[in-house]
Amino acid sequence: MSAYFARMLEQYGCNVDGIWRAVVDAGKQVGLTLPPLTEEVVVEDKTFAIVKKLGEGGFSYVHLAREIPDLASEDYALKRILIHEEEHQGAIQNEIDVMRALDHPNILPLLYAEIEPHRSPPPGARVFVRKRASLVFPAYLDGTMFDRATTRPEADAFTSTQLMSIAAQLCDALECMHTLSPPLGPIAHRDVKLDNVLLESSPETEGGLKAVLMDFGSAKPAKVTVTDRSQALLIQEKAAGECTASYRAPELWDTPSECVIDERVDVWSLGCLLFAATAAGKTPFEYATDAAGGSLALAVMSGKYAWSEAARKAYPREVMAVAECCLEKDWRARPRARDVREKAREALATTRRKFLGGGGEGAGDDDEPAVLVTEEV
């Protein structure tokens, strides 16, 4: 038995979890069934041990997990979703299909996914046993844009370079979705927000932060043709349940009876995100309603907002102009993701010239050659 334990410890590792799994495995050899020290989840024939909970929302939980038996391996994010009805399962399957169709460095990759088969309750039990879906992603432990925006002083969470670099990265990710080939694409994300952008320190990225778009549960075909009032109301109703209100485009608040809505709903949300990154997490129309009161819906439909004094001092005009061009109320005149990306790159180039001019990000324009600007994050 000692030789057997030695082999198990070599396989599982000399830590508490590894030792206990070795004990559990040895117990099986003599007919004993011992519980695992941590919950284990099998996804696509790979077993993951849950380390700790990272967050929760609605019917889902996200855990930090590591693959068994190699607990010294890389960290994973394990999202577990309780399926409450058949329609919900269809939405989860759609999210899985969308993520498997996307391949871009600024889009969170789906590594493994599985929807459990239906489980019957124990005999005599009067309970409904819900199915669960498990999705496994790489773990990004630096948190989200929302975490950073709300834990640092207003207008100090991101420099101009970082903000415009993130804008360009997210435009790249959105263009990947908006130009996706059939059978799924093109697709609109429909819930772009600070909470859905992961950050990772990256010396190779201008500004030092890599941005990764996640959560595709609200993704829809990019173009939607509306032909009558009942269809328009249905779109508004679905948007109310799937799109975060403070980031929702005007055409999803008040959908015309005859129109074609397209992927530029995401560009509006991107504008809200860039503003919120400078305003401690508050979108422009949350900021407006906090200042003057009234309805969020009316604030959005008015299209009126104002930058905070702190943001006006911290960011040059060309940086704020990138967010402003996204917040064009008429979606037919709103730029597409590729157009915003070019504006963000132009703002980055201007920031570089000012930086090289010797006055930091607020320095005047001059025509020094461009270099990669990285910053302490």
Annotated binding site for ATP: 79
Is 142 catalytic? The answer is: no
Cα-based angle 294, 288, 325 (whole degrees, multiple of 5):
130
At 49, the amino acid letter reads A
Q: Which helix (H) or strand (E) holds 260?
A: strand 259-261
Question: Do the bridges between strand 209-213 and strand 46-57 make them parallel or antiparallel, or are there none, so unpaired?
Answer: unpaired
Q: Rounded CA gap, 268 and 335, in Å?
A: 9
Q: What is the DSSP string of 37-91?
A: SS-EEEETTEEEEEEEEEEEETTEEEEEEEEES-TTS--EEEEEEEE-SHHHHHH
Q: Tokens 């061009």 label which residue?
A: 325
Cα–Cα nearest to 156, from 246, 281, 271, 305? 281
Q: What is the DSSP string of 151-216?
A: HS-TT-SS-HHHHHHHHHHHHHHHHHHHTPPTTT-SEE-S---GGGEEEEE-TTSTTSEEEEE---
Torsion of CA 351, 356, 360, 365, to 10 degrees: -60
Which residues carry a binding-site annotation? 79
Q: What's the first-to-final CA gap in the chain, in angstroms? A: 52
> What are the residues whose beta carbons fall under 8 Å from the beta carbon of 227, sequence distance 6 or more?
257, 258
Q: Which of 191, 195, 215, 262 is catalytic?
A: 191
Q: Rounded CA gap, 155 and 229, in Å?
A: 42
Which residues partner with 211 through β-bridges?
Answer: 199
Burial 46-71 (b: 16+ CB within 10 A, else e): eebbbbeebeeeeebbbbbbbbbbeb
Residues marked active site are found at: 191
